[in-house]
A and B are shown apart, each in its own frame.
Chain A
């Protein structure tokens, strides 16, 4: 008897079909992985189980949970199920908690609501569950507010809320996607423990095959609102009967074909020289006249890059890698130390003096949509950096330059008149790459450029980066917490930890035999599809 059975579930929002004839079941105590790319309907399936889909959604079919017909249940019945028998964790820990309520209140609230326990009793239970998820009361008092906690800690609070009443079914919707790999491994371990302790069933939703393989007994793969494959995790993935399953598996381990580093680095002058830079932020104000010690976001970092080199800067979130990148881009000034780009010092210069440097270094951000003004045409957006050129190109030249940049990233000239919302996520990242290469820069700083993209799109964008590296001779500084990306696209790697660079060397070598503790933690926490499948198969004999 399954705890949750979904039969022929279809869901439409307005006239737009989101889900089509979904079949899915979870046995008591079982972990089911629900996998698919963005827009495949994973989250909508979860929300349909909770009856929390948008008001305009219309569902057909049958969802049975523990004998209850969910689609036929009243709102009152659903309120009794939600939080008590079905708990749910969401993707974004930074916004999942109410900013004006203490973590104690937020955990105790559900307990009081469902059990009618007194305030004191509920707080006692909240204390216990927070302690269980790794937030002991001595360090994390119930009176703390969400903004006083880090992303990983907030996700622990969200897990405490969802698991406080030991639900029969826990739904986790991309619970670790917003976290760095080390935190991800910790949260996944915690979820596994809680599930087995409380004999819960888990519906684990993720776009990451390696993570799902690690977590789930069985797997269901969704594509465009329909189930493509379902079955035992290791078997489904290793046999990969459906072409889409095969494509997903290949894409998530994709390594772009790279032409040998084409620049002989030994002789050339350094493209970038960073010597002993430090960036301090003033400490928190303790009273009107005193502050605590300043925070060192970047601590005495030195590095050099040769023209055409591809370097990864890897570290956990909050390690200072983005601050370092901002200083290299002359968007922030180091407290001490010097940065030289193409032989010219860029620290403490005026904007006018920086112009030549700026046109030779460009940036690609993580979120391709957030970095575009939605009201500008592609022509205007991609042409943005052209004001850095010595001579302003006239209108016709400008159009030609934009067309060439678009062509180079695999888009067409006719895309010039369109607006950003008319493109998919992968195409938008191509647009931001086109914008970055239009001035023919010597260095591109890419801050997590593929982590917001689906695996198959990610593979294409990595290919594009590799191709441009070869064709244009542009050097890359890739900022990432994802070791597969570093391995796929870079020659050298710098491991950053608490503001310092703790290890550096050839990418393959460092990732295969990390020596520093920080690098070892990153490597061992990184999900790996092949290893995960092998382990599953081994366990099953």
Chain B
């Protein structure tokens, strides 16, 4: 078990290392001189050159990469070109929006997907199953920003239950802040839930043909109890795998959704930074998102061992 853990951890770290090289090189080839951007159109070449020296932009590629990567390790992400404040401060400020948003979306999608999967699997081939899966198919096909607009129309414009956008900050109480996050979280969660529900259903149906399900039925347990107590946990491995993979898409989704809802989150930060060629912010946020995906998948690997005792003893 310890060996399994260490191996997973090592793989995670290697992934982060490779990702940092790729991110750094990608942004190297993007056109635009950060020094000129910061000084504005009227700056002289000499001024630009001076700033380039100060920023270390004239040093060799490898040196610049090592400086940057070393900074990441000590949480020193450098200074934003456009805001002229440390990137870490920008990220902290935005994380209080994006982190809760991602967690709420992930929880919502799980809470929707698993019951729907159970419901459909228990009624396999019947009308209710077909209907549930047809709805899920629509969910898979629809882009999340379209959901976002529909949700705004129904809950904000029509029912006036929640604000249509913006974020009041956590300082004004938890409830108003949560109210501002609930629609974006749903817009992110619904397409995810649709995919996850289909995976849950398929995994359950496969498990239901196993011999031990028959054993459980022969004990006298009704189908519902068998589904919850015996089938669900065995079906969790593929569901967890997809959840981990989907998490990356969920994060990518926040870039669009935060823009639709005017949320001051990481997604919006990275979007603005790209349009303003604030490369150092882009690099830092992208690395943070990569780290989040790596950590989530590490958690998924760990949860396999929690779900399946056979993996705890395997070499």
Contacts and interface: CB of A to CB of B under 8 A. Distances in A.
Contact of A98 (B3, B212, B225): B212
Interface string A285-299: 101100000000000
Nearest to B222: A79
Contact of A90 (B215, B222, B229): B215
Interface in B289-313: 307-310, 313
Highest count of chain B CB atoms <10 Å: which of A100, A101, A110, A284: A100
Contact of B308 (A82, A95, A100, A148): A100
Interface string B224-268: 010001100110000000000000000000000000000000000
Contacts of A96: 211-212, 214-215
A92 interface: yes
Contacts of A75: 222-223
Contact of A99 (B216, B225, B234): B234
Contacts of A109: 216, 219, 221, 229
25 contacts: A50-B218, A75-B222, A75-B223, A80-B220, A82-B218, A82-B220, A87-B218, A88-B218, A90-B211, A92-B211, A95-B210, A95-B211, A96-B212, A97-B215, A98-B212, A99-B310, A100-B309, A101-B230, A109-B229, A110-B221, A113-B221, A145-B310, A147-B309, A147-B310, A288-B2
Contacts, number: 86
B275 interface: no
Interface residues of B, number: 27
Contact of B217 (A76, A82, A158, A288): A82
B315 interface: yes
Interface in B81-127: none
Interface size band for A: 35 or more
B6 interface: yes
Interface string A84-118: 10011010100111111100001001100110000
B308 A99 contact: yes
A97 B213 CA distance: 8
Contacts of B309: 99-100, 145, 147
Interface in B168-223: 210-212, 214-223
A83 interface: yes
Given A96-B214, A161-B219, 19 more contacts: A50-B218, A52-B218, A79-B220, A79-B221, A81-B220, A82-B218, A84-B220, A90-B218, A96-B211, A96-B212, A96-B215, A97-B212, A98-B212, A98-B216, A98-B230, A99-B308, A101-B230, A148-B313, A288-B2
Interface in A283-330: 284-285, 287-288
Given A95-B211, A97-B215, A161-B215, A114 B307 contact: no
B210 to A, nearest CB: 7
Contacts of B220: 79-84, 110, 113-114
A133 interface: no
B229 to A, nearest CB: 8
A445 interface: no
B3 A285 contact: yes
A162 interface: yes
A327 B122 CA distance: 47
Nearest to A287: B2
A76 B225 CA distance: 13
A164 B229 CA distance: 19
Contacts of B214: 52, 90, 96
Highest count of chain A CB atoms <10 Å: which of B3, B212, B222, B310: B212
Highest count of chain A CB atoms <10 Å: which of B217, B229, B313, B315: B217
Contacts of B219: 82-83, 109-110, 113, 161
B215 A288 contact: no
A278 to B, nearest CB: 22
